[in-house]
């Protein structure tokens, strides 16, 4: 739609006669429009929609302001072209500022402060026709001939070394422009490159990517220049998203294909290995967490069983008679002591074990080591592998359970009864057996007595030796063919002890051995005790 002042003579009475309106050429008087702005706008809107009009051209400067009043009421108008070769004034600017629908505005020229305000306040592209004459190659190469082109330019090309004229014009451009996103450098010069970066920083530009062509340029010079600039302005680049990219030529890619392929393969392989390690660590952590949770649930169930039996039996007068057996097994000295753990278990262990047998028929007894977390029922399988990876409920669990050597018997005690358990970091199973190597632990007399009750008897054991040793099996013999061999064994295990418990040990004694791993399986932590009571 074109709007202009009618030049031919027209009788005033003919104007605005709705009976003779021709929608191809509408004629209104200025006064009529001012008096009936809503009516004229509504009427034109219907015509514009019907004819699918989206662009308006205004040919006369004097009617720009009045015409914009109408245009502002018509949503269909997206483009406005002001044809007079004259700067728009502030009055026209204010009316443009009211428009909500325009997307493109073409003018002859517009003051800088008005252009910037329109750009900030509206999603409006402004084109100017005013020619700006430059003599630099930079302006010519990038087709920067109008102010609006300088203002809206999103990318520029640098394909020659800067002359003094180029430097002057680039400074004008970088100060006027508000939309620059890409700088493409075809011909690289460290001097020009440094000048461009300094100009970007000086004008506080942001979100710009600088693309540098590898072809015909010195890569080493490019790498070194970028490296120095990043070292100097790294914070500014990060805060303002200034990035660098080198565009390699097809010839360069061909030459370096296999080198890059190998490098990428190595990178991918390393990342894959790291990802695999992290994944396996995560899975292992989750597995350990769930298995430790299962063990703790079993511990709670066992505590519940003990509590229930406590409630069923009188826990008063729980003194227990302990008989210390002399070396020749003929003289006994009866004494009375009170157990550290007050529970009907010590009077009614048969009831506890009877209850546990219903849960696991492999149950053979109950082991307690004072001032540790070791307070578990002991099981026994047909081999020493089964309970390495199964819990008390016989479910698979890498933390295993406390188990007795398959060669031992609770009916007739062997000379050496061996009990195994994993050394779990969380303190589960034999995880707290490590307390026994601390002098503050083993020097307490009460800690030196271990309780191991079986289906057949209640037993107390006096610690005679504690030690760490590299992985060996020489202490894992259960029965000896002669007293001489047995004495040799007793001398061996007592001689290794980290502390002299001043306990005499003879071939008439029965030994209890607690064994767990140390130092990722490279060592063993071993506790030996001799039987001192057997009820």
Active site (catalytic) residues: 517
Instruction: Give the Å distances, CA to CA, from 355 to 139, 202, 456.
Output: 95, 84, 15
What value, to the nearest 5°, has the Cα angle with vertex 423 and ends 421 and 425?
145
Residue 152 corresponds to which tokens in the numbers above?
């809206």
Handedness of CA 230, 231, 236, 240 (dihedral sign): positive
- In b/e form, how buried is each residue of 250-259, taking b as 16+ CB within 10 angstroms? eeeeeeeeee
Inter-helix orientation angle 190-202/164-176, to 10°: 30
Cβ contact 105:134 at 8 Å: no
Instruction: Give the Å distances, CA to CA, from 412 to 228, 430, 457.
Output: 83, 25, 11
- In b/e form, how buried is each residue of 269-280, taking b as 16+ CB within 10 angstroms? eeeeeeeeeeee
Q: State the Cα torsion 490-492-498-502 to the nearest 10°.
A: 30
What 3-state DSSP class applies to 194? helix
**Integer Cα distance of 430 and 403 in angstroms:** 11
**In angstroms, what is the C-alpha Rg of the chain?**
48
DSSP line for 65-126: HHHHHHHTT-TT--EEEE-SSS---HHHHHHHHH-SS--EEEES---HHHHHHHHHHS--EE
Q: Residue 199: what are its φ and ψ, rounded to 5°? A: -65, -40
**Integer Cα distance of 52 and 381 in angstroms:** 91
What 3-state DSSP class applies to 379? strand
């Amino acid at each position: 739609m074109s709007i202009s002042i009618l030049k031919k003579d027209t009788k005033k009475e003919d104007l605005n006669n709705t009976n003779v309106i021709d929608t191809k050429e509408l004629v209104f008087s200025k006064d009529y429009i001012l008096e009936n702005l809503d009516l004229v706008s509504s009427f034109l809107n219907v015509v514009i929609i019907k004819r699918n009009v989206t662009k308006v051209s205004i040919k006369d400067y004097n009617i720009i302001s009045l015409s914009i009043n109408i245009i502002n009421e018509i949503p269909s108008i997206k483009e406005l072209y002001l044809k007079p070769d004259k700067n728009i004034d502030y009055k026209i600017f204010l009316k443009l500022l009211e428009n909500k629908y325009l997307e493109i505005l073409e003018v002859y020229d517009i003051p800088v402060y008005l252009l910037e305000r329109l750009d900030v306040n509206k999603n409006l592209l402004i084109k100017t026709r005013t020619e700006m004459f430059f003599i630099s190659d930079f302006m010519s190469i990038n087709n920067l001939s109008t102010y609006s082109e300088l203002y809206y330019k999103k990318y520029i090309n640098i394909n020659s070394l800067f002359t003094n004229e180029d430097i002057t014009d680039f400074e004008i451009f970088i100060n006027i422009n508000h939309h620059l996103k890409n700088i493409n450098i075809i011909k690289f010069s460290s001097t020009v490159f440094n000048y461009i970066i300094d100009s970007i920083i000086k004008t506080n530009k942001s979100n710009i990517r600088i693309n540098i062509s590898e072809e015909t340029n010195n890569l080493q010079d490019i790498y070194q220049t970028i490296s120095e600039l990043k070292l100097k302005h790294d914070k500014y680049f990060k805060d303002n998203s200034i990035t660098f990219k080198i565009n390699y030529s097809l010839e360069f890619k061909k030459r370096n294909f296999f080198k890059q392929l190998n490098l990428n393969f190595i990178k991918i392989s390393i990342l894959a290995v790291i990802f695999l390690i992290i994944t396996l660590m995560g899975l292992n952590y989750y597995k350990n967490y769930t298995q430790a949770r299962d063990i703790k649930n079993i511990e709670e169930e066992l505590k519940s069983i003990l509590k229930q039996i406590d409630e069923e039996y009188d826990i008063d007068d729980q003194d227990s008679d302990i008989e210390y057996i002399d070396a020749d097994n003929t003289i006994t000295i009866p004494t009375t002591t009170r157990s550290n753990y007050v529970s009907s278990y010590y009077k009614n262990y048969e009831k506890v074990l009877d209850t546990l047998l219903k849960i696991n028929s492999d149950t053979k007894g109950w082991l307690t080591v004072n001032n540790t977390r070791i307070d578990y029922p002991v099981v026994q399988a047909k081999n020493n592998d089964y309970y390495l990876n199964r819990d008390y409920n016989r479910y698979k669990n890498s933390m295993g359970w406390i188990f007795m050597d398959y060669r031992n018997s609770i009916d007739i005690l062997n000379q050496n009864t061996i009990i195994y358990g994993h050394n779990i970091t969380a303190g589960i199973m034999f995880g707290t057996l490590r307390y026994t190597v601390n002098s503050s632990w083993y020097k307490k007399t009460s800690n030196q007595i271990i309780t191991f009750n079986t289906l057949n008897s209640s037993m107390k054991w006096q610690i005679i030796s504690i030690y760490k040793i590299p992985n060996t099996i020489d202490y894992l013999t259960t029965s000896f063919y002669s007293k001489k061999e047995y004495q040799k064994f007793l001398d061996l295990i007592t001689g290794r002890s980290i502390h002299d418990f001043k306990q005499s040990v003879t071939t008439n004694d029965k030994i209890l051995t607690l064994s767990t791993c140390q130092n990722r399986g490279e060592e063993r932590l071993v506790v030996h005790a001799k039987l001192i009571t057997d009820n």
